[in-house]
Structure 1
Amino acid sequence: MADVVDLLFLPSISHHVAWVLMLISLTQTQNIVVFQPSFLTATGPTVTALLLGNTSDISLNVRTVSASNTTGSVDSPSCVAEVTQWVLTREQVGKTAVLIQLKLDKSLHLCGENETDTECCPKPLCVLETLQVSACVGGTPQASLLIQAKIHALLMPDYAGSDNSTVISNQVYHPLGSCPCDLTLNTCDVRCCCDKDCSIEDLKLFVSHCFPGPFGGQVSPAPDYQCSVQSSENSPDWFPFLCVISPPKNNPYLGLFYQGDTITFKPGPSFQRPVFTPTVQITYSQGSPIFTLNEQYFTIPRKLLGQCVNSAPVAFLKNFKVKCATLLHSCPTESPLQTRQMDFRINLKNGEGGEVMVNVTDEVAFDLSPFISSTDAVASSDEMLVCENVTLALDYKFYWEGNGITRVKLTRTVGTITLNSSVWAFFLTVVLTTRYSAVFLNGEFMAEPNSGNPGYQVGYPVIAAIVDTSDNNTGSILRTSINIWKPVGDGLCPTAEKKPVLFGENSTSGCLLPVSQQNLTLCNFLRETVASLQTALIPATHVAKSGNPDPLVMSDWVNISFATLNSSTTMESTSLCYGIPSHQHIHIRSLITGLVDGVPQREIQALHFSYSLSTWALGCGGGDVSPCVDPAEPQLFPITSSVTFTDIPVNTGPPKTRFQINFTEYDCNRNDVCWPELAFPITKHYTGEPYSQSLAKGLILVFFFITASILGTPWRQIRQAWNLVAL
């Protein structure tokens, strides 16, 4: 379909360009001027048009005109300017062309009830008028442009955001917030009874179904054992001795959303200004930035977060290779497209107390097809703009040994680009694709990043490999990665990317696959397509046991076990397909094999790769029946992938008996009720202070309890009964 569109679109473009070129030739021959286009309809505050021809002595003016009620025609062109609410500007874009722009000098917001500003719009249809732009020479009109302006006011929300920053209270000293369920600004949230946006009528609808607990704004009241709650009238007998004194701010919800982490400021290198500090010995490790002699980050152009930046730090032992596309309208004059060789001769810290200079070599590219994806139309030699020594590629090679850099080589590729500087050059652009790369070589071998030394570190990629038996059956190992889905943009599988599996981090992700009724008639082909998409995530046969495996030692690698997919032979209808491997699961089992400097060292013991099958059928509910009516109308089906890490427990003692496993009544670690803690804090289960002190305080507490029992209500009742018996 795309090819058909291109074939239909190219003749229309060629016809339009030929017509425009013929119009320019005609205006130059007859020495006249014309507006292109000659009539416009404006729905926004900016209008743009072109004036073609001999524009050397042309003056422009704008005025408001009206149509005749009888003939319907507008006023004839005039060279008398009028005061309007439009600002006219002109820009010479060529020898025979002027770019004309009209901009509305008025605010488009709707007037309020008591607003006195004359610049606002009194009604939704803010501007409704006809403008005439006249091109004059010596007071005689040569051409005119009619503009029908019909512009509506901008409707702003009632609670438009302000530029004032919101002051958020420190959650360390506040339980949750005033109303945690208030999620929508200036709107009543259903079942949120503490939402101040809810009116009395709104609350009556759900007052009996409010969110309970602190998340609904109902912080639990103080318990009865608080000393501040009881009064002398209703206090029990034990109250004066056993009540608890605790401030109101000390509650179980205090700082529930507070992480408690503190960040200590450490002065670091600056990208712009030099830091005048004593020279610091820098030792490189994997992932650490490379520094120049003046304590600055060593930067080169790189793509970060999907965008190309001109200055990005280079990390030690981190290889990358990116491409950046740039639209060129004129010759570049600044870095990184226009550079000098001396700009790259920089002294770097080698990580071992010395320095190393970047050695630069220039290469000239005569074939620009790998760098230029589109060119200008053919123009005459006097309309060509030649851009010399444009930087097309920067390829760095860092040679390292141990924790230092031994030498750095840069290959800079330059070339000459030709641009079209004719009248219509601003409609045609050159797309320049530049390349930037950095590789770290240990001798002549490229550095391979590790994920630990020796055990895996949490958050680092899981290392996988493919056993290559094509090289004389030597069984060499080619490193690769295990991936899961990384949806970007529209979330569709054809445009989705992959992200590596990180050790110790469980994850689930997926993408959407468009499937139509025609696809469901070919179930076997659909199953194979989905299976190929899922299998492409794991292009490996082995996984590394440790974080720094040896590619020449097979004992450092573990075979990946794959679950087999059984092909379905069941008779299937034309509307659904069975056995689609829509979910892929990766199960990784790890084990702590020892300690290095007190840090546990984890190894991967096994990796299992399996599928979950599902049945796909078109859903035509909710009023959307187009996928079931149109056989080519697609519907989106999810394809997911997940990874789970399981720690194998280390057996550190003899197996437990049946009594130890089943009888947990007195096990404080496995039972909610712990009877040995009944005499807390007298027993040794209390570890808040020395046992001797807790025992002494406990005995004093028992003494006060006995005294309260004797002096309280029970003893008073006994004395009254004794006195009655004595009388």
Structure 2
Amino acid sequence: MALMRRGVNGEETEDEEWPFFPMRIAASMYNYDDSTYLTVDANRAYTLSRKMPPSCTCRKTGDTDDECTMFECTCICDLTAGACDYNCCCDDDCTQDEKERFENLNDCLPEGPVDDEITKCYTTKQVDKINAKFPMTAKGTAKSSVDRALCVRYDNSDLRGEFFDDPGYPDSLDIFDESQGQKNYDYPFWIEDEEIYSSDQSFDAGDFIPAAFAVTDLSSGGGIPLSDGYIDAFQGILPLPVPNNNGICSEAASVKFATPQSSTCIRLIQNLEAECASTLGSFRWSASLYLGTNGAASSSGSTDWIPVTIRSVKYTNFYDTTQTEHETFNDADVDCDATYGTSTSCLGTSSATANETCFNALVAVHYDIVHQSDGINSIVEAFADLLLTDIPQSANNDDNIIIIRQYYSVGFRSQAAIARSQANIVNRTRSGNPGYLFGRPLLAGANGNNDVIRPLADGLQLVAASGHGDCHDTISVPFGADTRTGCILRLNRTELRDFCNGVGDYSSTGDPGVPRYFNVSDIFGNPTIYDEYIGIFGNADPLDISQWLQITVKAPQNTAVWRERTGVCESAITSMNFRFLWSYVGAKDNPQPKIVAARLDFSKEDFAFTLSSTSALSQKISFPITFTATFIHYDEDAAQPYTPPAPPMAVSVPYDVWYPFKVESAATRGSRPTTLPFIIAALLLASFWFVSV
């Protein structure tokens, strides 16, 4: 807290924050080196052996200084022994003149306890109104006559304060191994190692998966002897690279059994030739990798390991999203791992013709891990799906760095037979059951044949920027989280004109000024999108179209117009905006979020080609486009109380059997209590009494 001071005229000033003491004296004045010991005179040694520290005063009546634990320290600003601490008005090392100077400057530092005296000041006129009798007059004190104020100080409490109990000294330093001697968070090298439990034969959810390379696949470098068997890969655990704080791929995260995961990160390649086969190689993630069949896999046990089999390979052009699948890829063909040089790609037509190219560089890998559950969870198969590309050296930026975005994911499936019903015929990941879970992907899909939905594996996708800012990437839309992405169209003047007229590689066919990445057809007439359905609940079944909600597309007005003289494309479609209305349904203590409405609309902007010189017509200019998804909570979800109606009577009786008593109907039964139970009880009791008599 801050120290407040009141002047004689009633003004308040704020001093340093309590108990902050600035270092106001230069260390050089002591004339010693802090790397050596101070000089002390052993002849002046003494021993107090008391609980109360020096410079404090005992507040407990009857206790001596040796035994006192209720004490108050009244000069905490005296931080320098043998020298005056400036502005410490209680420092005995300061002269009286120095103390007076500090006080006159109103610079005294906090000295210790808070003043327990309460000061109240009144003007002389107020005092005279209350009690004008002697001596409570305007001249009752000399100071009040001067200041024209009367100040009264009082302390009418016998409480001397609250004091901490002295805990004494622990009997043993083992207390640092107990909870009292530890913190919840501490430096790692201070934390005691936890007991390590050996893994059993069965995998459980969240267990790490052992990973290894076969010794026969390794080359012995530096005279390191290699024997038969397996050697740990990636520190013995299968990793799943994740982005660090800068978005760069970090291989510190690990795959966890029965836990589907996915991540996206970037690699910064400074030396393409040196990092091609290592950092960008795919075989270290697939063909050369072995996984432990159980959590206790042994490096010497051949039956404890299974190879990762490459199931499929796709090739993508480095500069666009064109992909080609290669069904005849042979995972034993080492020539198809990442290589740098002059060889052509073994997968397809390379986008790179220069010699300085990294062929078959890894873009994405997906693991499909199969396990059996016959009492012991063990891994029986592991597959890898790869996406590769060729990276030319010319792809570097102004800093001579090549940026490539990579994708990693893993899924798990069991060999156990599963009973199929209408809700689980299609293997898929739900985003809730039934209501959406916040942060899970928003279910989306296209209308297939026979009124079924072709769902997207990762939910609704928004186009996003690749490592170079181009529109070559996508991200999933998480339920409940407003999302905004963007990317860049790089166009010269001719390409901008074609785009504005609805032709060329960057425009949606037939739609002037609409980027092809919006994936919308007939946008100005009867607009439709390919992925036009949204799951109403998080467990929407693709086989039941009634569980899906169609997105309404709002057609924009006025098509884009190209102005040749100014080089402006007026009213270009630059933003694609999804809006989702959601509400709670079900029990109030267990609410289930659902989508109740979905709409897609578009925003417009003028794209202007700025001509800076007569030779700049072929120069490319960056034009941004954006994609948004907004979730709005629909407030029409007020909870309603519900009381079930009374159950029907077991036997049929005349309607006037209870005459002249009045019986409430089921519709009003919840409004006030009925006397019917008491009447029945009375009649039964009367019948029993009559029979007894």
After TM superposition, the score normalised by the length of structure 1 is 0.39
Structure (1 or 2) with the greater helix fraction = 1
